[in-house]
């Protein structure tokens, strides 16, 4: 993960640990730099977690608490942002947090919309069994690509066929689900929420 630098860390530490500054800050709308700095420190502190790993609510909820306590601000749509992040109990999160699942995840994380596609597959009939078996394969990543090599089936083609033997079709398979699967996706949504709050505040 990228760092915010020692200077930024020291400034953030001072502002959130000094009682006088903390009390005054409760009346001041934080800068985006403060929000970003706190978020970066939080995500960098997560053990064995890479920036492109699948995010879950367990990583996000503590950040909201830290924001409320340390910079006295939290997004108005906090509940909605959290809802868009996969729950820790979800099948896909559980599978990709396993030893083999993590290896698979980090091989495919750079693929565009990979988590969206895996999420959609997991909600199809036979999809969870497919993912569970897939991550056991040493070359599982080649089946998860958006454009697979010739003669290599993609995930939709690997789904069990229905009784009419027709190929399976997954609705909106190549489209975003609107969920927040990664740190960068979450931070983009948080920035949009912050910008909206800043605009409302400026208009007053």
**Residues 29 and 65 occupy one common structural domain:** yes
What does the pLDDT look like over 182-204, one tens digit per residue?
999 999 999 999 999 999 988 87
Cβ-count burial of 118 within 10 angstroms (0-12 exposed, 13-18 middle, 19+ buried)? buried
Residue 165 lies in a domain: no
For the chain, what is the domain count? 2
124 & 78 share domain: no
pTM attached to this predicted model: 0.84
CB 140 within 8 A of CB 105: no
Residues 63 and 96 in one domain: no
Task: Evaluate whether residue 99 is within a structural domain.
Answer: yes
| 113 shares a domain with 67 | no
User: How many C-beta atoms surround the C-beta of residue 16 within 10 A?
Assistant: 18
> Based on the domain organization, do 106 and 147 belong to the same domain?
yes
Q: How confident is the model at residue 21 (pLDDT cuts 50, 70, 90)?
A: very low
Pair 81, 105 in one domain: no
Is residue 110, in this structure, part of any structural domain at all?
Answer: yes
Q: Are residues 190 and 126 in the same domain?
A: no
Q: Is residue 172 part of a domain?
A: no
Q: Buried b vs exposed e over 163-173: b needs ≥16 C-beta within 10 Å?
A: eeeeebeeeeb
Q: Is residue 66 part of a domain?
A: yes
Range of the domain at 137: 91-158
Cα atoms in the Cβ-side hemisphere of radius 13 Å centred on 52? 14
Same domain, 43 and 79: yes
Task: Please give, one letter per residue, the 3-state secondary structure of the chain.
Answer: CCCCCHHHHHHHHHHHHCHHHHHHHCCCCCCHHHHHHHHHHHHHCCCCCCCCCCCCHHHHHHHHHHHHHHCCCCCCCHHHHHHHCCCCCCHHHHHHCCHHHHHHHHHHCCCCCHHHHHHHHHCCCCHHHHHHHHCCCCCCHHHHCCCCCCCCCCHHHHCCCCCCCCCCCCCCCCCCCCCCCCHHHHHHHHHHHHHHHHHHHHHC
Q: Does the pLDDT at position 140 exceed 90?
A: yes
Residues 80 and 98 in one domain: no
30 domain residue, yes or no:
yes
For residue 3, give both structure tokens.
């760092």
12 near 38, Cβ under 8 Å? yes
Whether residue 168 lies inside any domain: the answer is no
pLDDT tens figures, 29-77: 999 999 999 999 999 999 999 999 999 999 999 999 999 999 999 999 9
Per-residue model confidence (pLDDT) at position 27: 62
Same domain, 101 and 125: yes
């Amino acid at each position: 993960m990228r760092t915010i630098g020692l200077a930024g860390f020291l400034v953030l530490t001072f502002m959130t640990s000094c009682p006088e500054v903390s009390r005054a800050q409760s009346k001041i709308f934080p800068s985006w730099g403060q929000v970003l700095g706190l978020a970066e420190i939080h995500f960098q502190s997560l053990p064995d977690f890479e920036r492109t790993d699948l995010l879950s609510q367990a990583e996000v909820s503590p950040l909201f608490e830290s924001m409320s306590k340390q910079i006295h601000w939290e997004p108005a749509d906090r509940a909605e942002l959290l809802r868009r992040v996969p729950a820790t109990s979800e099948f896909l999160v559980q599978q990709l947090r396993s030893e083999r699942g993590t290896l698979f995840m980090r091989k495919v994380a750079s693929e565009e919309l990979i988590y969206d596609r895996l999420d959609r597959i997991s909600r199809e009939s036979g999809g969870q069994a497919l993912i569970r078996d897939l991550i056991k394969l040493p070359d599982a990543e080649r089946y998860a690509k958006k454009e697979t090599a010739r003669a290599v089936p993609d995930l939709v083609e690997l789904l069990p066929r229905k009784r009419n033997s027709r190929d399976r079709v997954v609705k909106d398979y190549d489209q975003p689900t609107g969920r927040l699967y990664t740190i960068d996706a979450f931070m983009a949504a948080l920035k949009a929420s912050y910008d909206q709050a800043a605009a409302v505040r400026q208009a007053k």
